[in-house]
Amino acid sequence: MTFKPAHLLVVLLATALPAMAQNLATVNGKAIPTSRLETLVKQVTAQGQQQDSPQLRVMLKQELINREVLIQEAEKSGLASNAEVKQAIEASRQSILVRALMIEQLKKNPVTDAEVQAEYDKLKAQAGDKEYHLYHILLEKEDDAKAVISKLKAGAKFEELAKQSKDAGSASKGGDLDWSTPVNWDPTFATAVKALQKGQFTETPVKSQAGFHIIKLDDTRTAKFPSVEEVKPNFVEGLQQQRVQAYQQALIKKAKIQ
C-alpha cells in the first residue's frame, strides 16, 4: 500500500499525538511527563491551602518547567557527581522510602472509630466535668513562696504579689491562668486546686517541676467538652503516631544490630 504525502502526514500525527499528550512540555528536547504535574497537584491540594483549578495547574506547570531548566544546568555543571550532593540525594531517598513505608503500614492498619472513641472517653474522664479559673504565683525557692503566703495572709493583694512570679506570661496579668481543666496539670497542682474553695489560696507552697506555686481559685464552672467529631482528627493523628512508633520499635527489636 502506497501512502500519498497528505495521508502520511495524518498517520504521523496520529501516532505522535498520544505521546505528546503524555508530556506536559519539553525543555531542551527533554520531556516533562504530565503525570509529574498530576502528582504535584495532589501534593499541593492535599495540604488544604489550595484547590485544583486551571490557574493552579498553569502555575505548577511553570514551576516544573523552571525546575527542569535548573536541573539540566546543574547536571551540565557536574553537580550530580559532587559528593555532598550525592549524600543529600541519598538522605532524601531514604526519607521518602521511610515515609512511604509508614504510610503503607497505616493503610494496612488504619485507626478505627472504636479506638478514637476509647481515647476520647479516657481523656474526657481525666478532664472531669469542671473547669477552674485560677491565679498563681510561681517562685524558684520554697522560702520565697512561704514569704509570699505570709504577705497574703496579712492582707496583701494577690495581683500585686504576682508581679514577682517567674511565670512571665501570667505575672503581667496578676497571675491569671484563665479557665482550664486538670487534664494537663501536674498531679500535685491538681490535688491542691481541688482542695480549694472559691476565693481561697494555697497556704503551703505547691511543688511542681516548674517550681513552687501559690494557687488561688477564683471560680469554677461546668466544663464544655468538645464532641468526639470535633476532635477526631487530633485523636487519629495521635493514634497514628503511636502506631508508627510501635511498628518502628518492633522492627528495630527484630533487627540484627552489631
d(CA 28, CA 72): 9
Summarised one tens digit per residue, pLDDT across range 20-34 is: 458 999 999 999 999
Beta strands in 3-145 (DSSP E): 23-27, 30-33, 130-139
Q: Which three cell numbers stand for residue 184?
A: 494537663
Nearest residue to 194 via CA among 181, 184, 213: 181
Any long-range contacts for 242-250 (C-beta under 8 Å, 24+ apart)?
Answer: 243/105, 243/106, 243/109, 243/111, 244/102, 244/105, 244/106, 247/102, 247/105
Give dist(CA 211, CA 139) in Å, integer.
Answer: 6
pLDDT of residue 49: 78
- Assessment of whether the complete model's pTM goes beyond 0.85: no
On the question of pLDDT at 255 being above 50, the answer is: yes
77 pLDDT more than 50: yes
- Mean pLDDT, rounded, for 199-214: 96
Average pLDDT, the chain: 90
| C-beta separation of 65 from 32 below 8 A | yes
Residue partners of 205: CB distance under 8 A and separation at least 6 = 139, 142, 145, 146, 149, 212, 213, 214
The model's pLDDT over 217-253, given as tens digits with 9 standing for 90+, comes to: 999 999 888 899 999 999 999 999 999 999 999 999 9
Tell which wins on pLDDT, 116 or 3: 116
- Residue 172 C-alpha from the chain's centroid: 30
Flag whether pLDDT at 183 surpasses 50: yes
Beta strands of 73-190 (E only): which ranges? 130-139, 176-180
pLDDT above 70 covers a percentage of the chain that reads: 92
What pLDDT, on a 0 to 100 scale, did the predictor assign at position 96? Answer: 95
pLDDT at 146: 97
Residue 109 falls in which region: left (phi positive, over 0), alpha (psi -120 to 50) or beta: beta
Mean pLDDT, residues 155-173 taken together: 95
State which amino acid sits at residue 153. Answer: K
Cell of 246: 510501635
Summarize pLDDT for 55-75 with one digit per residue, the tens: 999 999 999 999 999 999 999
Rounded mean pLDDT, 74-84: 95
pLDDT of residue 21: 59
